[in-house]
Amino acid sequence: MKIRCILIDDEPFALNILEDDLLDFAHVEILEKFNSPMEVPDFLQKNEVDLIFSDIQMPEMLGTQFIKNLEKPPLVIFTTAFHQYALEGFELNAVDYLMKPIRKERLAIALKKVEDQLTLREKLNEENEESSILINVEYQKVKLLFNEIIYIEGLKDYVKIYLTDRVHPLMTRSNLRGMESKLPEKYFTRIHNSYIINKQKITGFHQSKVSLSTVELPVGKKYVDSIKALSE
């Protein structure tokens, strides 16, 4: 895994020393160096950055304030010669806080923490991809987690998707058979020509109806046996 990083420090000498040390780590890619944090936001908008090494005490803006101002900052390692900023740095969820002059062994420990966090993030993203579906809603792609979906109602060329945290269902252009083919049998089952339900949301089964929390849905005759099997 490559760690794509940028370096910020108003002292060119400190910047060059950090760059030289990082060159010894093959899995680290230095994208850019900056003498001022003011130049960084535009770069972040145009490039994928995993990690920021930022000095704290800089004339135009404190590194801590700069990170506070970012809406979705990458991972951060603060580098400084001053102890008093340590608490603020960790309150900003910094991965680490390195005192200058930075020892190579200490830098290696900080990079290992970054690597661990990026690996965990990647794993969680993969899990979300495996437990979600993308649908088109009003010309936008919307990701829905499977456990958000209560049931789906077919309406000829459209389907309504009823969700746990929305009063009104989402509508997308599809037929029920098309939706059924995209959903895993592990979580979903067809109960009627017009309905697909999330098995995990079943709260009761009575004759030819299935209860899903506060709603009851009819079960088609050809689906009765499979629904009974779920309730046993």
At 175-212, the pLDDT tens digits run 898 888 888 888 899 999 999 999 989 888 877 888 88
At 136-174, the pLDDT tens digits run 888 788 888 888 999 999 998 899 999 988 888 999 988
Q: What is the pTM of this model?
A: 0.60
Distance between CA atoms of 125 and 159, rounded to whole angstroms? 27
Q: Is the peptide bond preceding residue 101 cis, with omega within 30 degrees of 0?
A: yes
